[in-house]
Structure 1
Amino acid sequence: MPTTASSNKSPLSATIIAKHKAGESLVNADFSNQDLYAIALNQANLEQINFSQSILTNADLIEVNLKGANLRNADLRGANLTGANLTGADLTGAYLSRADLRQANLSDAILEDTQFQVTIYDNDTIFPEDFNYKSSGAVGPGANLNGAFLNTANLRGVNLTGARMMGAYLSGADCTGAILDNVSFSGANLQKAIMTGASLRDARLGNTELKGVDFRAADLTGANLDNIQNIAGADFSMVRGLSEQARSAILGFPAPDLTTWNAYTRCNTKDSLERTE
C-alpha cells in the first residue's frame, strides 16, 4: 500500500514543522543529507538554509523564502525535490546545482540569480512562464547544453530528448538508461561515458570522442556516427540499430584502436561489434 504524506514524515520533519509553527527561526539552519519527505513548510522563512543532498520529495514549499538556500552538492547529487510544490517561492541566489526537479512545480517562483547547473527537470516540471529554463544550465528535454561541462555527471535515466550538446564535455558521465534521442553531440567529448541501455535514436554523434565509451545494449537506431574521432576501447556489445555504414567506419580504425580493451567491461571494440543485434 502506498505511503501518504501524513504517514511517512520523519521525526526530524515533525520537529522542523513544530519549530516553524512556534515561530522559531529556521534561517541558516543545517538540514543537509536528511529524509524530509513531504515536509510542509508553506510560507516559512528558510533563507540561507542548507538542504544539500536531502530528500524533499513531494514537499510543500509554497511561497517559502529560500533566498541563498543551498540545495546543491559539489559531488554527484543535490537535493531531491521531485514532485515538490515551490509555487511562489523566492529562490533568489539559491543554489540548485545537481538538484532533481522532476515533476516539481515552480510556478510564479522568483529565480533571480538562481544556480541551475546540472539541475534535472522533465516534461512535467513547471517553471515560471518567462523563465528560459532550457538555457539555464539545467538538464532535461530540449536543453541547450552546448559546450557544457558535464564530466562525471549522474544522468541515469534522465530524459534529454532533443537537447543540444555540441562540444559538451561528458567524459565519465553516467547516462545509464538515459533518453538521448535526437540529441546533437557533434564535437562532444564522451570518453569513458556510460551509455548502457541508453536510447540514442537519431542522435548526431559526428566528430565525437568515443574512447572507452560503454554503449552496451544502447539503441543507436538512426544515429549518425560520421567522422568520429576515437573509438579505442569503446564497447558496442548488444547494441541495437547500428547501421552497416557506421559499423564499417568503426572497423576502418587502426588495429591498435580496435583491439584496445575497455577496462570496465573487459571487451575490446572489435570483439564487441560481433555481439551487436
Structure 2
Amino acid sequence: MISKETYKTPQDVLAILKAGLALAQEDLYQFNLSGFDLSKAQLHRATLIRANLSQANLSEADLSQADLRGADLSQAILRNANLQAAYLYRADLSGADLRGANLTEIKLLGARYDSQTLFPEDFAYKSSGAIGPKANLNGAQLNTANLRHADLQGASLLGAYLGGADLTLVNLQGARLSQADLRKACLTGAYLRHARINGANLAGADLRAADMTGVEFEQLESIAGADFSHVQGLSDEMRSRLLSQPAQELDTPHALTRKTTRASLES
C-alpha cells in the first residue's frame, strides 16, 4: 500500500492507479478527479467521500466496498465496473452510465439519478432508495434533505417525511405526495403539475412561484403559515378551497416571509 506522502495531486493518484498499485484508503477524500481516465483502476475499499469524479472514465474499475458518500459521479462512465457493496449515500449519479456494472449489495440511499442515468437492465433502481424519476420513496425519511433541482417526476412519496427539505425548483410533475410531511419545506419554483398531495401537511411550507397546475388535493392536514405568493396554475376553485381552511391556519404568518397564508392567497 502506498502512503499518503507519496502523492499529493490528482496526477500522482492517476500515475499510481495506472501502475496497478493500491492506495491508502483515507487519502482520496474530496479529491478532484473530474474527467480523469480511471478505467480498470483498483479502488477496492477506497475512501472517496465527496470526491469529484464527474465525467471520469471508471469503466471496469474495481470499486467494490468503496466509500463514495457524497461523491460527484455525474456523467461518469462506470460501464462494467465492480461496485459490489459500495456505499453511495447521497452521491450524484446524474447522467452516469452504469450499464453492465456489478451493483450487488450496493447502497444507494439518498443517491441522485436523473432521466439520463443508465442502469443495468435487471437492476431495480426505482426501489433502491435512490432519488430520481419514478422512484419509490414511500415513507422515506428525507427531513432537511437538499433536493434542489432534483428530478422526481412521477415519483411515489406517499407518507414521505420531507419536513424542512430544500425542494427549490424540484420537478415533482405527477408525483404522489399523499399524506406527505412537507412542514417548513422550501418549494419555491417547484414544478408540481398534476401532483397529488391529498392529506399532506403544508404547514410553514414556502410555495412561492411554484407551478400547481392541476394539483390534486383533498383534506390537507394543515396549511398554517404556508406562503402561496405568485403560485402559478392555481384556479379560482382551488384558491377558494384553500381559503376555506380554518381561520387560525390562514392567519398564521410564514416564519421567513412573515406573510400570512390568507394574504399570500388573496394577493
TM category (shorter chain) comes to over 0.9
Specify the alignment match of 2:17 in structure 1.
20
Query: Which of 129, 137, 147 is the equivalent residue of 2:139?
Result: 147
- Which consecutive residues of structure 2, in runs of 5 or more, have no partner in the other structure? 1-7
Specify the alignment match of 1:161 in structure 2.
153
Asked if the contact 1:180–1:203 (Cα under 8 Å) also holds between the matched residues in 2, the reply is yes
How much does 1:244 deviate? Answer: 2.3
Alpha-carbon separation, structure 2, partners of 1:54 and 1:245: 49
Number of residue pairs matched by the alignment: 260
Deviations 1:110-150 (A, max 9, x none): 11111111111111101001001011111111111111111
Asked if the contact 2:111–2:131 (Cα under 8 Å) also holds between the matched residues in 1, the reply is yes
How much does 1:253 deviate? Answer: 2.0
- Which consecutive residues of structure 1, in runs of 5 or more, have no partner in the other structure? 1-10, 73-77
How much does 1:27 deviate? Answer: 5.4
In structure 1, give the amino acid aligned to 2:213.
Answer: T
Alignment of 1:170-249 (within 5 A): 170-249=162-241
Structure 1 residues 87 and 212: CA distance shift in structure 2, 3 A: same
Deviations 1:157-183 (A, max 9, x none): 111111111111111111111110000
Asked if the contact 1:82–1:101 (Cα under 8 Å) also holds between the matched residues in 2, the reply is yes
How much does 1:236 deviate? Answer: 0.2
Query: Which of 250, 256, 260 is the equivalent residue of 2:252?
Result: 260
In structure 2, give the amino acid aligned to 1:256.
Answer: Q
Asked if the contact 1:166–1:185 (Cα under 8 Å) also holds between the matched residues in 2, the reply is yes
In structure 2, give the amino acid aligned to 1:235.
Answer: D
Specify the alignment match of 1:271 in structure 2.
263
**1:117 maps onto 2:109 in alignment:** yes
Specify the alignment match of 2:40 in structure 1.
43
Alpha-carbon separation, structure 2, partners of 1:134 and 1:64: 24
Specify the alignment match of 1:83 in structure 2.
75
CA RMSD across the alignment: 1.3
Q: Which sits farther off after the overlay, 32-41 or 131-140?
A: 32-41
State the identity as a percent. Answer: 47
Deviations 1:236-263 (A, max 9, x none): 0000011223222221222221111111
Alpha-carbon separation, structure 2, partners of 1:45 and 1:29: 15
Deviations 1:73-101 (A, max 9, x none): xxxxx111110001111111111111110
Asked if the contact 1:12–1:36 (Cα under 8 Å) also holds between the matched residues in 2, the reply is no
Alpha-carbon separation, structure 1, partners of 2:226 and 2:175: 19
Specify the alignment match of 1:58 in structure 2.
55
In structure 1, give the amino acid aligned to 2:22.
Answer: S
TM-score by length of 2: 0.94
How much does 1:227 deviate? Answer: 0.8
- Runs of 4+ in structure 1 deviating by more than 6 angstroms, as ranges, are none
In structure 1, give the amino acid aligned to 2:205.
Answer: V
In structure 2, give the amino acid aligned to 1:70.
Answer: D
How much does 1:30 deviate? Answer: 2.6
Specify the alignment match of 2:99 in structure 1.
107
TM-score by length of 1: 0.91
How much does 1:22 deviate? Answer: 3.0
In structure 1, give the amino acid aligned to 2:161.
Answer: Y
Asked if the contact 1:156–1:176 (Cα under 8 Å) also holds between the matched residues in 2, the reply is yes
Specify the alignment match of 1:7 in structure 2.
none
